[in-house]
Amino acid sequence: MFNLIIAAAEKAAPAAGKAPNPIMQMVPIFLVVIVFMFFMSRSQKKQQQKREEMLNALVRGKKVMLANGIYGKISEVKEKSFIVEIAPDVCIEVAKNGVAEVVEPEAEEKK
């Protein structure tokens, strides 16, 4: 098996006896990795931007689900946090990043 690989490598080598540059053989792999990383960072940036828009659009009275699964209603909006009422007369302060999603009224009715 190794003899076949060696024979194929010898046929692929230039006639002058010079071996192909190994860096040039790696260029296609590097290009694929770079393109893959570009598309991954682009999609992450879009998701982050969408989440920031969602957090900035939150106002008093919106029902939200927190990252730990607690449901509540925003009773006050601060600069870096929300005051969320999770039960009558029970309010907690939550960092803005602690809000996982906005709960739509239609979604509650379906449950």
| Cβ contact 75:85 at 8 Å | yes
What average pLDDT does range 15-30 have in this prediction?
A: 75
CA distance 47 to 90: 32
Residue 15 banded pLDDT, cuts 50, 70, 90 = low
| Cβ contact 92:86 at 8 Å | yes
The mean of the pLDDT values for the chain is 83
pLDDT of residue 14: 55
Q: Is residue 85 located within the same domain as residue 42?
A: no
Question: Has this prediction a pTM greater than 0.95?
Answer: no
Question: Which tokens belong to 84?
Answer: 């969320």
Q: Is residue 45 located within the same domain as residue 11?
A: yes
| Count of domains for the chain | 2
Coil/strand/helix, residue 18 = coil
Q: Is residue 46 located within the same domain as residue 83?
A: no
Residue 20 banded pLDDT, cuts 50, 70, 90 = confident
Q: In sequence order, which ranges of the chain are alpha helices (DSSP H)?
A: 2-12, 22-56, 105-110
Q: Is residue 75 located within the same domain as residue 36?
A: no
Q: Is residue 67 located within the same domain as residue 45?
A: no
| CATH number of the domain bearing residue 66 | 2.30.30
| Cβ contact 89:83 at 8 Å | no
Q: Is residue 23 located within the same domain as residue 64?
A: no
Residue 29's domain comprises 2-53
Q: Is residue 78 located within the same domain as residue 43?
A: no
Looking at residue 20, its amino acid is P
Residue 3 banded pLDDT, cuts 50, 70, 90 = low
CA distance 73 to 97: 16
